[in-house]
Amino acid sequence: MALREIVFDTETTGLDVMTGDRIVEIGCVELINHLPTENNFHVYINPERDMPEEAFRVHGLSEEFLSDKPKFAEIAKDFHDFIKDTVLIAHNASFDVKFLNWELDKAGFPKIKNDLVIDTLAMARQKFPAGPNNLDVLCSRFGIDNSKRTLHGALLDSEILADVYLELIGGRQTSFMLSNDQQNDSDGEDWEATRVRKPAKARPSPLPTRLTEEEISAHRVFLGELKGEMIWSHYMPPEPGEEADQDQTEA
């Protein structure tokens, strides 16, 4: 069964939905088995309020430009149907989800469930704990072209974030690879079976035991008191003299 994920971003009038800030743009990029499909969802939204200057400097969406765009309630069903029961991926996801859940609830639709949300900011912080981990820095780290990102835009940022997400999970080549035959029949296959896993490397020599001689002797006494042959005995180091006897037998 194919894995469907949606990378998304929003633009807003400000930082706090509880003080009246609203969503003005939503951009979603669909991934199937970690590959973009070009089945995207993108809409500008009339926030039914003014546009603060500081927000305009971030995304460049003016009150005049948004005045004839649909209100969230008018696009809520299409948006809900597009994301329904799908894993959602965003950078600093709690911010976007907070706004979307407020709007969805107001429009009478179910809120986004936390267990369906992946936060790439949290992933990046785990991978690069020293930071910073904003989208521009991650693009630089992974060699992703973000030259068109002169202003924040929900769809463009989602497209860039999709590339960043693939790098965070291991890259296109290492996380997902199909032969030509598999590509033609991928819809009927388990996507997990198509992951390329590197074989584990064997340790050249076993790690030395941390047990003391006293602890080993005490354990031997304990095993000697048990009835029958115990599997643990096969993993005990040989007693002095046993190793030499074994070498002579094998020779």
9 is an annotated ligand-binding site residue: yes
Phi, psi of 175 (to 5 degrees): -95, -20
- Indicate the domain borders of the chain: 4-194, 209-239
Distance CA 135, CA 25 (A): 18
Residue 93 neighbours by CB distance under 10 Å: 21
SS3 content of the chain, % helix, strand, coil (to 5): 45, 15, 40
119 is an annotated ligand-binding site residue: no
Tens-place pLDDT, residues 25-70: 999 999 999 999 999 999 999 999 999 999 999 999 999 999 999 9
167 is an annotated ligand-binding site residue: no
Distance CA 122, CA 245 (A): 57
Residue 204 confidence class, pLDDT cut points 50, 70, 90: low
Fold of 4-194: Nucleotidyltransferase; domain 5 (3.30.420)
Residue 203 confidence class, pLDDT cut points 50, 70, 90: low
Tens-place pLDDT, residues 100-127: 999 999 999 999 999 999 999 999 999 9
Q: Crossing angle of helices 93-106/72-83, nearest 10°?
A: 120
Contact in structure between 2 and 190 (CB atoms under 8 Å): no
Residue 42 pairs in a beta bridge with 27
Residue 32 pairs in a beta bridge with 4, 35
Phi, psi of 147 (to 5 degrees): -65, -25
Active-site residue set: 152
Phi, psi of 161 (to 5 degrees): -65, -30
Distance CA 116, CA 141 (A): 27
